[in-house]
Amino acid sequence: MTTYSLLILPGDGIGPEVMAEVRKVIGWFEANRGLSFDVSEDLVGGAAYDAHGVPLADATMEKAQSVDAVLLGAVGGPKYDNLDFSVKPERGLLRLRKEMDLFANLRPAQCFDALADFSSLKREVVAGLDILIVRELTSGVYFGEPRGIHDDGNNPENEGGRVGINTQRYTSGEIRRVARAAFELARKRGNKVCSMEKANVMESGILWREEVQWVHDNEYPDVELSHMYADNGAMQLVRHPRQFDVIVTDNLFGDILSDAAAMLTGSLGMLPSASLGAPMANGRPKAMYEPVHGSAPDIAGQGKANPIACILSFAMALRYSYDQGADADLLEKAVEKVLADGTRTADLLGPEGGTPVSTAEMGDRIVAALGALA
């Protein structure tokens, strides 16, 4: 029997409590599906800062490099708002992405039928929605140099005398590899890719468009490719989201567009993500999985958080890191069943209200649904 390694980094806020529910799910798969996991746990974000004075210790970084997959909860909270930029909780997350070279960030936005009425858009616009945003994750303005806040000399025309700089920089190689990831994924879905940039104002956007087109023409001519300016893309996502299958875009546009897409589905508490890098020796990609939601400090520790996004992130790990597609399907079906049965955490209650279940109860019901479906 293969033992799969998994590093769990619960992080801050609701991270630890949603992760506890994933542990139950892992236990079920071990007891009932003949899978074996070597699970270790460590600190990231504010929790790591409290313990080590840095948002990610070197030993944790090394461990992350050595496992089959990392599962991260969430980072950040008001307690850490005034820390120096270099040790903010988010820097731990960004270090993991950069040093593991997780260049392709997969953010599915899927509308569960049972929840279509919770979207801020009309049911007929979002019902059946199933799109995948592939966001470039290790370059662009998040990491480009030069960056910083500088003194503007004694420039009399600049009141305040300071300049803030970030650099949008992409190499053709960086664009091509994330484009390939998007085309590969599209082939397994609706076979359509829409690439988004701002080629009308940015040279890096022109390069983006040309390189995505090059990869298409030379390697994936069978996939349907279109291009859109990112602002139009935002509008189209809200106007008629089902026109999309796979969207590929850069780091910053992907950050923004994926939040918009997430909200279409009715609840941020439902959405998983996978960040994938180059293949390791075993042929599987380096990978980190995380819910799209944040640390939600306002509800942390109260048993109110929805653990589904984190549980579905583990389903993505089953699919992409452990090659257990059937088990991933089973887990996703169990979540659908629990929702169809009317089980709701507080974030999934509509205006008409109802009685929410706790974080732990949601986890228990998903485990029970696994048992019923298996």
What does the binding site for Mg ion look like in residue numbers (CB under 5 A)?
A: 255
Among the options 101, 117, 130, 259, which is catalytic?
259
Nearer to Mg ion among residue 45 and residue 356 (C-beta): 45
Among the options 255, 304, 327, 337, which is catalytic?
255
Residue 102 · residue 138 · CB < 8 Å: yes
Q: Confirm or reject binding of residue 87 to ligand IPM (CB under 6 A).
A: no
The answer to whether 88 is a known catalytic residue is no
Minimal distance, residue 119 CB to ligand IPM, in Å: 20
Looking at residue 261, its amino acid is: A
Nearer to ligand IPM among residue 252 and residue 360 (C-beta): 252
Looking at residue 36, its amino acid is: S
Minimal distance, residue 186 CB to Mg ion, in Å: 23
Residue 354 · residue 346 · CB < 8 Å: no
Give the 3-state secondary structure of residue 73: strand
Minimal distance, residue 108 CB to ligand IPM, in Å: 14
* Partner from Mg ion, ligand IPM, none contacting 250, C-beta within 5 to 8 A by type: none
Nearer to Mg ion among residue 118 and residue 253 (C-beta): 253
* Partner from Mg ion, ligand IPM, none contacting 315, C-beta within 5 to 8 A by type: none
- Residues 129, 262: Cα–Cα separation, whole Å: 11
Nearer to Mg ion among residue 245 and residue 255 (C-beta): 255
Among 96, 47, 90, smallest CA distance to 67 is for 96
Among the options 50, 58, 151, 231, which is catalytic?
231
Among the options 80, 142, 170, 322, which is catalytic?
142
Residue 228 · residue 236 · CB < 8 Å: yes
Q: Confirm or reject binding of residue 255 to ligand IPM (CB under 6 A).
A: yes
Residues in the interface with ligand IPM (CB under 6 A) total 3
CB atoms inside a 10 Å sphere around CB 28:
19
Looking at residue 346, its amino acid is: A
The answer to whether 198 is a known catalytic residue is yes
Minimal distance, residue 164 CB to ligand IPM, in Å: 17
Residue 105 · residue 135 · CB < 8 Å: yes
Q: Confirm or reject binding of residue 90 to ligand IPM (CB under 6 A).
A: yes
Minimal distance, residue 90 CB to ligand IPM, in Å: 4
The answer to whether 259 is a known catalytic residue is yes
Indicate the helix (H) or strand (E) that contains 248. Answer: strand 246-249
The answer to whether 231 is a known catalytic residue is yes
- The shares of helix, strand and coil residues in the chain, as percent rounded to the nearest 5, are 45, 20, 30
- Residues 226, 192: Cα–Cα separation, whole Å: 8
Nearer to ligand IPM among residue 110 and residue 343 (C-beta): 110
- Residues 322, 225: Cα–Cα separation, whole Å: 30
The answer to whether 142 is a known catalytic residue is yes
Structure tokens at 23: 């542990």
**Any idea which residue has 């236990």 for tokens?**
27
Nearer to Mg ion among residue 28 and residue 103 (C-beta): 103
Among the options 198, 286, 304, 337, which is catalytic?
198
End-to-end CA distance of the chain: 20
Burial class (CB in 10 A: 0-12, 13-18, 19+), 59: exposed
Structure tokens at 173: 């190689």
Looking at residue 218, its amino acid is: N
- Residues 307, 287: Cα–Cα separation, whole Å: 20
Nearer to Mg ion among residue 136 and residue 255 (C-beta): 255
The 338-367 contact track toward ligand IPM, x by CB under 6 A, reads ------------------------------
> Which residue is nearest to ligand IPM, using beta carbons?
90
The 185-204 contact track toward ligand IPM, x by CB under 6 A, reads --------------------
Catalytic residues: 142, 198, 231, 255, 259
List interacting residues with ligand IPM (CB under 6 A).
90, 93, 255
